[in-house]
Amino acid sequence: MNKNSSNTMALAPNTSNKRETVCIFGTGDFGRALGHKMIQSGYPVVYGSRSTQISNLIPKDAEVLGHAEAAQKAAIIIIAIQRQHYNFLTPLAEVLRGKVLVDISNNLKLNQYPESNAEHLAQLLPGSKVVKAFNTVSAWALQSGTLDASRQVFVCGDDVAAKEMVMNIVRALGLTPVDKGSLLAAQEIENYPLQLFPMWKFPIFLSLGLTAFFFLYCVVLDIIYTYIYEKNDFSFFIAITIPNRVCPVMALILLALVYLPGIFAAIIQLYRGTKYRRFPDWLDKWMQCRKQLGLIALAFASLHAVFTLVTPLRAFASWRTGKGIISQALNNKTEPLDHTNAWLSDSYLALGILGFFLFVLLGITSLPSVSNNVNWREFRFVQSKLGYLALIMCTAHTLVYGGKWFLSPSAYKWYLPNIYILSLIVPCAVLVVKFVLIFPCIDKRLTQIRQGWERNPKYSKQSNHVINKSAV
Ligand code: NAP
């Protein structure tokens, strides 16, 4: 096949129903898994390998040839070989001229090489059209069939027609291609499989740290203090009582921490009188992980709801109820219903239920399948307005729960406040400052700043002119 015919073959649209042959270089794990999936989807597959011996592992309908011979049979060649072996492709440059080369490789470390593997391949074979794809899909998932149609395949490349051909294959395999632009995006795509929950690290470490702190705090006040001063062994509190104290506290604090960076951002913008200056790095990072903080808060709130539902089933709860009834019987006196207490208890439960409902609503709207179906205004309405309402409800739930008891000296063991009092500090601070920020005179100025107004326009002439994200 001459050079021109291979060029035409690479970019000619497929008008018949028959799929075009795809060549895969490398009969390793990924090459075999992808070849198997392609054969299932109707693509004739030819392997280019160092050894043309057919093994049992190779899909039975596939052909195995030498690299040069296999490459001539297809317009698209998938390079299922590690980057360190790419040099063997240089002598094949003429055969590969005009062909679409799909780089699927990954590295062992983030930013392992100065340029991405796909860019390296494009430098080695300037006459070919390199497209990056499939690197975020595992051989195991391809083989076991655990891929579903929502599984995204990131695709990038400088040649639009070549990229479209690869995206068509992705679709034919039942996957969803996501066009990430030119080959410059390859480095980012190659880093994806190496990242370990990048947006979750800070929220998870923060939650673990705070949970450990509050758990120990409760152990000291509810178990050790009671043991020393009242000679009561309440060590079983570790199983349900203390977790049911820590979970709501964590849920409330983390929910407040979702809205606190927005407050800081607003204060910084008001102080600077412009939005055209970067926020400090710590604030940028904090704002980027608000969704994760919110989801962890929702998990704690859900645990609190479950722990609360099982409370009446506990031996301790029935013992305490029985004790109350027996003491009334012994004293031959029925305690009258305390209407104030009844109101307080029903109100805090109602506030908790409403707060939890709004919390769940926030969690649902943060799911990509839901958030993709609402416009920006609707999303902001739910996440900002209903989010603040959820924070108000949950803060009120805690305040009403504590009621007058927060003011009683018995709530302060060893002069330490109860954790519910500690949990109110951040949410109350957020709500008070937010209340100040929505005063018309302040809100008007903030809105002007977010629409581009500047008190001191010198910032707009500054070096990089980066626009801060407007804080929710
Ligand atoms: P593998 O099982 O080690 O297979 C690599 C294949 O490369 C070998 O079977 C061999 O095929 C060929 N090869 C090895 N040394 C060579 C050399 N010196 N010259 C020419 N060809 C050579 O690796 P793999 O797991 O399939 O991964 C292949 C590529 O896919 C890697 O870049 C990897 O990052 C990427 N990837 C893998 C996965 C996965 O789940 N495994 C997922 C995404 C991306 P022949 O013996 O047929 O020549």
DSSP states of 298-347: HHHHHHHHHHHHHGGGSHHHHHHHHHHHHHHHHTT-PPPP-HHHHHHHHH
Q: Whole-angstrom Cα distance, residue 350 to residue 347?
A: 5
Q: What is the mean pLDDT of residues 100-129?
A: 95
For ligand 1, whether the C-beta of 31 sits within 6 Å is yes
420 token code pair = 């519910």
Which segment of 60-64, 217-221, 335-339 scores lowest on mean pLDDT?
335-339
Q: What is the pLDDT of residues 247-296, one digit of tens each?
A: 999 999 999 999 999 999 999 999 999 988 889 999 999 999 999 999 99
Q: The tokens of 110 are what?
A: 């983030």
Distance, CA 159 to ligand 1 centroid (Å)? 25
pLDDT of residue 31: 96
Residue with tokens 């307080």: 344
Q: How far is the CA of 190 from the centre of ligand 1 (A)?
A: 16
**By alpha-carbon position, which residue is closest to atom 10 of ligand 1?**
26
Tell me if 27 CB under 6 Å of ligand 1: yes
pLDDT band with cut points at 50, 70 and 90 for residue 172:
very high
**Nearest atom, ligand 1, residue 140 CA:** 40
Write the DSSP string, 237-288.
Answer: GGTTHHHHHHHHHHHHHHHHHHHHHHHHHHHHHHHHT-S-SPPPHHHHHHHH
Specify the pLDDT at position 404. 73
Cα–Cα distance measured from residue 139 to residue 194, given in angstroms and rounded to the nearest whole number: 16
Torsion of CA 427, 397, 308, 343, to 10 degrees: 170
Q: Indicate whether residue 29 lines ligand 1 (CB < 6 A).
A: yes
For a ligand 1 pocket test, name from 36, 77, 81 the mutation site with the most ligand atoms within 8 angstroms of its C-beta. Answer: 81
The per-residue pLDDT for range 341-372, each reduced to its tens digit, is: 889 889 999 999 999 999 999 999 888 778 77
Residue 443 token pair: 């809100």
Query: Residue 426 pLDDT > 80, yes or no?
Result: yes
Q: Which residues have a Cβ under 8 Å from the Cβ of 63 and sit 6 or more positions away?
A: 45, 46, 47, 70, 73
- Which two tokens mark 212? 């450990």
Could you tell me the pLDDT band of residue 392, with boundaries at 50, 70 and 90?
very high
Contacts of 125 (CB under 8 A, 6+ apart): 89, 90, 93, 96, 101
Between the CA of 79 and the centroid of ligand 1 the distance, in Å, is 8
126-130, 135-139, 224-228, 456-460: which range is least confident on average? 456-460
| Residue 187 reports pLDDT greater than 70 | yes
Mean pLDDT of 29-53: 94
pLDDT band of 64, cuts 50, 70, 90:
very high
Span 413-440, average pLDDT: 92
Q: Is the pLDDT of residue 440 over 90?
A: yes
Give the per-residue pLDDT at 460: 53
Residue 298 and residue 362 in contact, taking contact as beta carbons nearer than 8 Å: yes
Question: 396-404 contacts: CB < 8 A, separation 24 or more?
Answer: 396/351, 396/355, 397/348, 397/351, 397/352, 397/355, 398/248, 398/252, 398/423, 398/424, 398/427, 399/424, 400/344, 400/347, 400/348, 400/351, 401/348, 403/344
What is the rounded CA–CA span in Å between residue 54 and residue 65?
A: 10
Q: Give the position, in ligand 1's atom list, of the atom nearest the Cα of 142.
A: 40
What pLDDT is recorded for position 167? 97
Q: How far, in Å, CA of 286 to CA of 283, rounded?
A: 5
Tokens of 66: 């030498």
Q: Residue 23: what pLDDT? A: 98
pLDDT in tens, 80-91: 999 999 999 999
> Confidence class of residue 464 from pLDDT cuts 50, 70 and 90?
very low
For residue 17, what pLDDT band results from cuts at 50, 70 and 90?
A: low
Ligand 1 in reach of 50 Cβ (< 6 A): yes
CB-ligand 1 contact for 117 (6 Å cutoff): no
Q: What residue owns the CA closest to ligand 1's atom 37?
A: 30
Closest atom of ligand 1 to 107 CA is 34
Confidence of residue 459 (pLDDT cuts 50, 70, 90): low
- Does ligand 1 come within 6 angstroms of the Cβ of 30? yes
The answer, yes or no, to whether residue 456 has pLDDT greater than 80, is: no
Which of 24, 29, 87 gets mutated to test ligand 1 (max ligand atoms within 8 A of its CB)?
29
**Stretch among 67-76, 122-131, 242-251, 366-375 having the lowest mean pLDDT:** 366-375
Question: Which of 102-106, 179-183, 236-240, 426-430 has the least mean pLDDT?
Answer: 236-240
Q: Is ligand 1 within 6 A of the CB of residue 320?
A: no
Q: Which residue has the tokens 């209340």?
A: 435
CA neighbor of 297 nearest in space, from 257, 262, 244: 257
- For ligand 1, is residue 105 a contact (CB within 6 Å)? yes
User: What average pLDDT does the segment 89-110 reach?
Assistant: 95
- List, as one string, the DSSP characters of 42-70: T--EEEE-S-----TTS-TT-EEE-HHHH
**Token code pair at residue 397:** 């739930």
- CA-to-CA distance for 367 and 390, rounded, in angstroms? 18
52 lines ligand 1 (CB under 6 A): no
Say whether pLDDT at 140 is over 90. Answer: no
pLDDT band at 142 (very low <50, low <70, confident <90, very high): confident
Output the CA 134–ligand 1 centroid distance in Å: 13
Atom number of ligand 1 nearest to Cα 117? 32
The arithmetic mean of pLDDT across residues 373-381, rounded, is 82
Please report which confidence band the pLDDT of residue 147 belongs to, taking 50, 70 and 90 as the band edges: low
Q: Both tokens of residue 146?
A: 């655990």
> 178 pLDDT exceeds 70?
yes
Task: Report the range out of 282-291, 315-324, 336-345 with the highest average pLDDT.
Answer: 282-291
The b/e string for 102-139 (b: 16+ C-beta within 10 A; e otherwise) is: bbbbbbeeeeeeeebbbbbbbebbeebbbbbbbbbbbb
SS3 178: strand
How large is the average pLDDT for residues 94-99?
96
Describe the chain by its helix, strand, coil percentages, rounded to 5.
Answer: 60, 5, 30
| Torsional sign, CA 143, 148, 152, 153 | positive
> What pLDDT does residue 417 have?
87
Closest ligand 1 atom to residue 105 Cα is 32
**What is the pLDDT of the chain when averaged over all its residues?**
88
pLDDT tops 50 at residue 455? yes
Is a pLDDT exceeding 70 seen at residue 388? Answer: yes
Ligand 1 centre and the CA of 85: distance in Å?
9
Q: Give the count of beta carbons closer than 10 Å to the beta carbon of residue 281.
A: 8
CB atoms within 10 A of CB 282: 11
* DSSP state, residue 125: -
| pLDDT range class, residue 10, cuts 50, 70, 90 | very low
Instruction: Please state the rounded mean pLDDT for residues 44-66.
Output: 92
Q: Percent of the chain, pLDDT > 70?
A: 92
Average pLDDT over residues 54-75: 93
The pLDDT of residue 5 is above 60: no
Of 126, 104, 97, 121, the C-alpha closest to 10 is 97
Phi, psi angle pair for 146, to nearest 5°: -85, 15
Q: Using a 6 Å cutoff on CB, does residue 141 contact ligand 1?
A: no
Is 80's C-beta closer than 6 angstroms to any atom of ligand 1? yes
